[in-house]
Structure 1
Amino acid sequence: MSAVDGLLWLSFGGPEQPADVRPFLENVTRGRGVPAARLDEVEEHYQSFGGVSPINELNRSAIAAVTDALVHRGIELPVYFGNRNWHPMVEDTVARMTADGVRRALVFPTSAYGGYSACRQYDEDIERARAAVGEGAPELVKLRHFFDHPLFVAAFADAVRTAAAGLAEYRLVFTAHSVPVAADTASGPPAEGGRRYSRQVAEAARLVAASVGVADFDVVWQSRSGPPAVPWLEPDILDHLDVLAGKGAPAVVVCPVGFVSDHLEVVWDLDTEAAQRAAAHGMGFARAAAPSGDPRFADLVVELVREHLDGAPARKLSDLPAAGCTVNGAPCAELCCEPRR
């Protein structure tokens, strides 16, 4: 294996003070045709939490855990933190890595899945950051998808058990970020038939449910942000809660299997809106924690790193493609997860 002298933790980013919120949202939605009224609505969500998203602090905590896990295993690898949409911006981080003399680094994107927003957009982030630095920018190798890694599944399974404790009967509902149907159809190489994102989410949900011992469950979607005329993956979590209430479900346990941390889309869409909708129906509601704070998540990242450092075998629980391992922003396959037009 080629030498590696750094690890870049690449994430979405989020505001850390009220004045950051609107410019952050404009960065996120630039070129996507999101109505201004929708931005106003989401801005109110952030401002209701003091204009601060939990995501950066959650990432810093996870990075500290990964750094400790690397040291514990005798791996000397500095970990750098860069974001797509807000500070620390990935372009600035890669510039600092270059100044520090990093020549070849692995990249851990904070998404377990394929698809444009979940995967290829991180390739674009890498390509853009290297182009901003220019000559001397380090080689950047993006780590693979980990939706079916045993540690990812185990952390979620235990979180479901904890959330369900004390509930005699409940419906298990998995949720992930919705995307346009066209984007999901285009996710993955055409030879695979597309839908890599939704298929991987469904597989992760199946694996977690099986670990918990639940045979019948639902996979739904949340956080839609596009124009109303564009079809997105459905059903939405709120609509689904209405359906469950109509069927007499006494309680629901929601597992945010599409997310790695309890950031604002989780605490607003689930802990706030979904919890309120369930309460309005008289249904019990519990939400499983996302895994970034679980010690096994740090171990997962170290295992992905070791696949490159010493050829450790890739641990997977399914036969679905674990794509990734791309270099310098090149997509993993021709026409794979092309951007929405």
Structure 2
Amino acid sequence: MSSERWGLGPVEIDRNAARRATKLAAVVLCLVMAVQVVIVAVFTLGPHPLQSVTEVPAEPDAQAWDGAPSETLSLDRQQMTTPYGGGSVDNVTVQAVTNDTHVAFRLEWEDPTADTEIDEPDAYSDAAAIMLRSGSKPPVTMGANGDPVNIWYWRSSWQHSDADPGGDMYAYPHPDSETKPGTVAGNPLSQSTHNQYGQNYYATGFGSLTNAETQPVAANGQRTDDGWALVFQREHETAGDYDAVFEDGEQMYLTYAIWNGSADEANGEKSLSYQFLTLDPGDGTLSETDSADDEGANETDTNDSGVVASATTSARWATRAATNWPAAIVLATGAAWLISYWRIRE
């Protein structure tokens, strides 16, 4: 087969082979670009943006939650201190939205029974909590001495009970009438009615839970077809000593706990996430932390930490390589042209 040839200095070029090699190189170019798009999509799905909205919703079924990314965390029984137990809820799905003044988190989990009445012995309420800490990651053990945490807490009995929570169980006889010392003392757990359904607490370890002087947290829980959907909402700025700080440059660590009343879960008996989520108010990402770094991780998590770290390193390397697209395109296209030209010319 005859072919046209032309010289480029001392090099003689086969024009027919060059044209065919150029076509093949164009195909390789398209494939490289497609592969880059796929790799970047696969390895950048982890971090989810904290969606910005005009008005932060207080309702769990608000339309603003429809487009908000979510993270689903596995829950396990509490096994760090007495009373051990819980674990009846397998996982919780979390979403977050924000605007210039407020932030809100939506939690959803499966629970076939609505446990809202605690007016008799052995009756327990469904409940949920978020533990938050700004800056450095706290111990999962409700903080520690010198490492205070902020806890937002909700009980279904506060919002959905048809009776006086606690009934007469905590009443003491008096010559003139019954006395309820918890109610008189202002204990939030003893109130018969609640103006808001979220409570703001501080803790520095197990057994140190303290009701905060400031109560800026609002909560709203509603039944779904499968369980509960709950929204915690708060302004960015508060006056509390240990309130979570939603400011640029202050990464937030969050973890979650769920109580199932019908499973007799109360106090330390709960379904707990040993995995933290991180929230960066600066760039707006909500993502899982590396399980190898989480305190309180179970033995399985510890054994798998090397695999997780290796996979994370590989993902970062692949992402950097794929996103360095100019170099990848030049190298792949040039190599494809040279190899194709050489083979065709033979």
**Do both share a fold (TM > 0.5)?**
no
Larger radius of gyration: 2
TM-score by length of 1: 0.25
TM-score by length of 2: 0.25
Q: Which has the higher strand share?
A: 2
Q: Which has the higher helix share?
A: 1
